[in-house]
Amino acid sequence: MKYVSALTVILTGLCISPVTSAAFSEGFTKTMTTVQTKIMLNGEKFTPAQVKSWWDTYDKEVISVLSAKKPVEEELNKETAPVELSVTEHKGTEIEDIELGKVGVEFHKLDGKTWLAILTNKMFSGSTPLPFGTVRFYKEVDGKFQKVAALDEMEGPWDKDKIQFSTVQYQPMGIKKGAMQFSTFHQWPAKSGDKANRTQIIWEFKETPKPVTLVPEVDWHKSADGTVVMGHGDAYDVP
């Protein structure tokens, strides 16, 4: 397999062959393969509206997966584990597969009808990682699943660029004051010479999910005099 590390590649006879998955439809993988080809091979730029359109495409797929049968968390996560997308390049008699990025969904059940889903679209721009990730919530209402909340559609004190270009992790925090609490950690790519860092959002869930606390820097932060201090920085209430 050939790995893409250049912004622009001259493509001759490029053929999109969607990767099959236990759960992802051919239409979904074909759409996301096209997206990744435009960005990783053709060097095309993207806008916030286009990023949102990717997640809207995921919505249809997530709802389809949740609706296919009685959802069980462990089984869902096996079916929607990240898969590598690729395209086939034909050069004369030579055929070569070009690896793109990975798409995947990670599910966490919040109650009998509500699910948290971490949506992942990992790409590269040259050698720079573009680990797009977000958190959306889906609920069964009158026998049908629908999206009920999305981090990428919320306003808050977080750095939208860091939240958008991040790998997302989920951590349950138990029940506090009658409400379920959990955290999502968002790790963005470290710049050359920097250590990796994460942003933490603490959520509260009763009937609907609500972000309540933000920790912009979890692993290290800079003090007032510019000194790097290991450990998390200040936490802020989310209005």
Domain boundary among 130, 153, 176: 153
**pLDDT value for 22:** 59
222 pLDDT band (50/70/90 cuts)?
A: confident
Instruction: Find the mean pLDDT for residues 68-79.
Output: 94
* Most distant pair of Cα atoms in the chain: their distance: 67
> How large is the average pLDDT for residues 14-26?
61
Q: Domain check: are 29 and 80 in the same one?
A: yes
What is the rounded average pLDDT of the residues 48-76? 93
pLDDT at 21 over 70: no
Does one domain contain both 121 and 189? Answer: no
Q: From residue 102, how far is each of 31, 69, 114, 115 by CA, in Å? A: 13, 25, 26, 22
> Using CA atoms, how far apart are residues 47 and 36, in angstroms rounded to an integer?
14
- Taking the CA atoms of the chain, what radius of gyration do you get in angstroms? 19
Asked whether residue 124 falls in the same domain as residue 168, the answer is: no
Mean pLDDT (whole number) for 23-50:
89
Note whether 222 and 118 are same-domain residues: no
Chain-wide mean pLDDT for the chain? Answer: 87
- What is the model's pLDDT at position 16? 46
What is the total count of domains within the chain?
2
Residues 6+ apart with CB under 8 A from 48: none
Residue 82: the pLDDT is 94
Average pLDDT over residues 225-236: 89
Domain boundary among 138, 153, 168: 153
- 150 versus 220: the higher-pLDDT residue is 150
Shared-domain flag, residues 169 and 142: no
Q: Long-range contact list for 15-20, CB < 8 A, 24+ apart?
A: 15/87, 15/88, 15/89, 15/90, 16/87, 16/88, 17/86, 17/87, 17/88, 18/85, 19/83, 19/84, 19/85, 19/86
Q: Name the helix (H) or strand (E) containing 27.
A: helix 26-36
Q: Indicate whether 93 and 146 sit together in one domain.
A: yes
The arithmetic mean of pLDDT across residues 217-228, rounded, is: 88
| Domain-ending residue, one of 111, 138, 153 | 153
- Same domain for 176 and 118? no
> Across-strand partners of 168?
186
Q: Do residues 131 and 238 both lie within one domain?
A: no
208 and 98, same structural domain? no
Residues 185 and 73 placed together within one structural domain of the fold: no
Specify whether 188 is located in the same domain as 148.
Answer: no
For residue 48, the enclosing domain spans 1-153
The C-alpha atoms of residue 12 and residue 127 are separated, in whole angstroms, by 22
pLDDT digits (tens, 9 = 90+) for 90-149: 777 777 888 899 999 999 999 999 999 999 999 887 777 888 999 999 999 999 999 999
127, 142: one domain = yes
